[in-house]
Each structure stands twice: as structure tokens, then as C-alpha cells.
Amino acid sequence: MSSRLQSTILASAVLSSSHLDVLGDRISTAGERESIDVRTPVTDEVVGTVPACEAADVDAAVERAQSAQDAWAERRPEERAQVLYRFADLVLDRREELLDAIQVETGKAREHAFEEVLDVVNTAGYYGKDGPGLLDERDRTGPAPGLTSAVETYEPVGVVGVISPWNYPMTLSMADLLPALLAGNAVVCKPDERTPFATLMLAELLEEAGLPDDVLAVVTGKGEVVGPALIDRIDYIAFTGGTETGRTVAERAGRNLIDCSLELGGKNPMLVLGDADIGVAARGAVKGAYTNAGQLCLAPERIYVDESVYDEFLDAFVGETRKLSLGVGVGYDGDVGSLIDGRQLERVRAHVDGAVEDGASVLTGGRYRPDVGPFCYEPTVLEGVPEDSQVACEETFGPVVSVYPVSGVEEAVSRANDSEYGLNASVYTRDTERGRAVARRIDCGTVCVNDPFTVGWSSMDAPMGGFGESGLGRRHGEVGLLRYVESRTIATSAFGPMERPASLPRRWFVRLASGALRAQTRVRRWLS
């Protein structure tokens, strides 16, 4: 594999083109394969290549993972956790090189790239600390306490497939992959072909941290080739991506009778109540809407503002947005980076241009900026967007947000819930109790009060996922770990089979059992 990195890109970088060559060569194939060019959004040049794996390559990776998984599962969870701890240290040790890789592959601002590094370390630390305890066997209540007992034990499902997207290549691969490993599974990961090197670098660090050979494999290639081959061979699939592709993944998983978790699209609402701190709300809107140039599944794309503070909020939000600087490259220049590629740029431009044609106003932004980078688009605020406009209904996945006045909380909640999606929402108010009460009425898997998404995503002990078309299942927390295990119930009777004594007539048995059940129900009611 060859890499070509212009000196202007990596003049001050730790990442080297030779390292990208090594990473590309890590991917095992059964023979010669076509190459996939990996382009940087910074200049739209090719920075490296990876093989376009075929079904046979996926089969071989899964077979190797299956062979390695038993020995990995036999290790105590506490021993597996030590690998995660060492991995977290290595991620921090190699921080600068990882940040270079994220910026080269995604074009995002370095501050936003650092959020990925933070999150990977946070995920490893959480599951390293709490994971082993969550995998302990649990006492369950038998039907006749004192005479019967039950325990629940956990076994890894086997080989887990992880299909991760391009927008957060480190965060979203590791959020699924690390708990799967801690649970005793092997993993085959398919990163997006536009951003394979970030995942490959982390796989390299996991091996350096002590993960045995073949417990983790990375396969690269086109989704329509690698995805089906992977789902047909594994025991669980974790997918992050678009809703339509998620449907296809779920259908294939269903045919194979394997479980899955899907984090899909969103059209996330933000509610600014009449008692909100306008400065806090404006900064939250900027943070939420423009992190990673809006290419964030949790980003607010529609903001509903109480009409009593609408003008004040709009002035503050537009003012904060205009302060943002665009920048691409390796380094800390620029508040907002690039879109990933030309296809994403065209989607953003089409949404904004369509909204303007439908009668919306652009309050700031709304311009393609090729002078900054080939796929850069200004942070954009829209007003007066019709409800049937494309940008109002579909996920834009770019630095574009629409703002609407509402008469009060009832209208805000109603309009927030008027969506097929339900991934993330935010509520801004000085009264946090009121904020939580409003949050309970919003049909989303996560609702943040006075924060756009960071406090929700970073609450590692709490589940994260979506309602409706935003997906199935949850990552993070206990459920994010236990999705990767099969539970086994072991029930024991101290007196033999639970059956009617042969000497007791059936009629009397029914009467006595009914009386005992009635008494048991009354005791339970009294104790509750």
C-alpha cells in the first residue's frame, strides 16, 4: 500500500505517511484485492489506500476470531479489564498522533478531534472499572424462598461485528467494541472506507495493551460487500449509520436470528423556554449545532424558542455563530472544520438552497467556502423555514440549524415530538426541575437540560440510544455491556420436583395452592 501526504498537511504533524502504510498492511486478505483510496477533506488528495475486502476475507477474519475467542473468554473479567486500562494509557500517550489521524481523515477541528480521544479513554475506564462487576452472577428469587433458589450467569455471545461510521471513527467504533471485548467476545470491525486509519491505529494500541492476536480484526471495503458477509457469519451486530441502511442490517440480522443494536439518524430538537439563560442557550446551540461541522448524530437541527425571548435568543445565537472561524489542516487553527466529502457538501447546499427557495431567510452563513477547504461550508442559521421544506424534515448532517418561535411549552413539546426520529433533545431553562419535567415529555432516548449533548453522552453509566427511526437498543452503561452476553438461569430445588404430593387430592391441592398464592400476593403488596 502506498501513502501520499503533501508536506503542507503534515509539516507540523506527528503522524507519518509511513505509519499509514503500515496500518494499511495490517488488513489480511486471501489474495490480491483492489485498493480503496482514502482521501483527506483537508485538500481532497489521496493520503493512503486500504484493500477492498471480499466475502472470503471476512469469512477468514471471523474464523480467526472464533478460534481466538474461547481463550479470551476464559480469562477473568478483571484480567480483561487490565487490557482496557493499559489501552487507555496508550491512547493518552499517543494523543498527538491520534489527533493528527482524525484531522487528516475527517477534516474536523482539532478541539473536536480531542473529544474523540477523551471519549475513548472514558469508555475504556468505565468498562474497566464497572464491567467486571456487571458480569458477576446474580442471585434471583426462586418460587419457594428457602426451598428453591436461582442464579443468573452470563456467557459471551461469541464473535461481535461492529460497523462504524466516518463522522466519529474512534468514538463510535470503541463505544461498541470495548464493552464487547470486556464481555469476553472477539470482534470483527468494519470502519467506513473513508476513515479506516483511526480505527486501525486503535486496534494497534489494543494489541500493544495485551489483547491477544485475532481477538480483534479490522476489515475494510465497500459496505454492500463487507456488511452482508459479516452479518451472515457473526453472533451479534452493532451498527451506527443511516436509518435506511440500518433497516437492511436489522432485516439481515433477523433472518440469521442474531441480535443487533442500531444507532441511526436524528432530527434533534432544542427547546429554549421563556425562563432560559439566553447566554447559556446561545452557547449551547453553537456547541451542539457546529461541533464537527454539524456531522454529529446528536446535533440540534431545529430550535424552538419561546416567543417572549425569541428575538433576544436569535440575536445572541447569530452573534455567537458569527464569531466562529473556519479552518482545516493539522493543528488548532479554526473553530469549525470541514465536511467529509463532496457528497455531504452537496447535501448541505441542497438543503439550504431549497429552504431559501421555499421562503426561508439565511441570518448568517449559507455559503460554500472553497477558499478555506474543498468541502467547507459556513455555520448557518435559518429562520422562517416552512414545515414541509426538506431541511425541516430530513437530517442535514451539516452546520445548519433552523430556528422557530413558539407560543409556549405545549407548542414546543408538540413540535419537538413531530418527527419520526427520537435520538437526542435539549431543554434550556433556569429551573432545572422544570427542565426535567419537560424532558420527560419529549420522545427521545436522551434529553439534556442546559447542555446540547455532552452531558448525556458522557454519562457513561446511563444508556444512550434512540426512539423510533433513530434505532434499536442502547450503548453505554450496563445495557451497553449486557447486550453482548447470553444470560443463563440456573434454578435449584432442595426437595426435588415441584409437583403435587401424590397423597394430596387434586382438588385440595388447587385450594391450598390458591390460598398460598393469595397470601403471597398480600404480603408482596404490603411490602411494596
Lookup: cell for 41: 477533506
Residue 262 CB partners (closer than 8 Å, separation 6+): 239, 240, 246, 249, 250, 471, 472, 473
Backbone dihedral region for residue 334 (phi beyond 0: left; psi -120 to 50: alpha; all else: beta): left
Burial class (CB in 10 A: 0-12, 13-18, 19+), 278: middle
CA distances from 250 to 243, 256, 420, 443 (A): 10, 10, 18, 22
Tell me, what DSSP letter sits at residue 182? H
Of 54, 105, 193, 263, the catalytic one is: 263
Residue 177 CB partners (closer than 8 Å, separation 6+): 160, 162, 187, 189, 216
Closest CA to 246 of 116, 400, 388, 421: 421
Q: Rounded CA gap, 397 and 385, in Å?
A: 17
Q: Rounded CA gap, 12 and 357, in Å?
A: 44
Closest CA to 276 of 438, 443, 441, 453: 438
Q: Is-catalytic flag, 263? A: yes
**Residue 236 phi, psi dihedral angles, 5° rounding:** -165, 145
Q: Rounded CA gap, 423 and 263, in Å?
A: 8
Q: Rounded CA gap, 143 and 152, in Å?
A: 15
Neighbours of 3 (CB within 10 A): 19
| Cα angle 393, 269, 442; round to 5 | 110
Lookup: cell for 219: 476489515
Closest CA to 180 of 484, 506, 433: 484
Instruction: Tabulate helix, strand, coil % of the chain (nearest 5).
Output: 45, 20, 35
Q: Rounded CA gap, 46 and 57, in Å?
A: 24
**Kind of pairing, strands 467-468 and 46-51?**
unpaired
Question: Catalytic residues, which ones?
Answer: 263
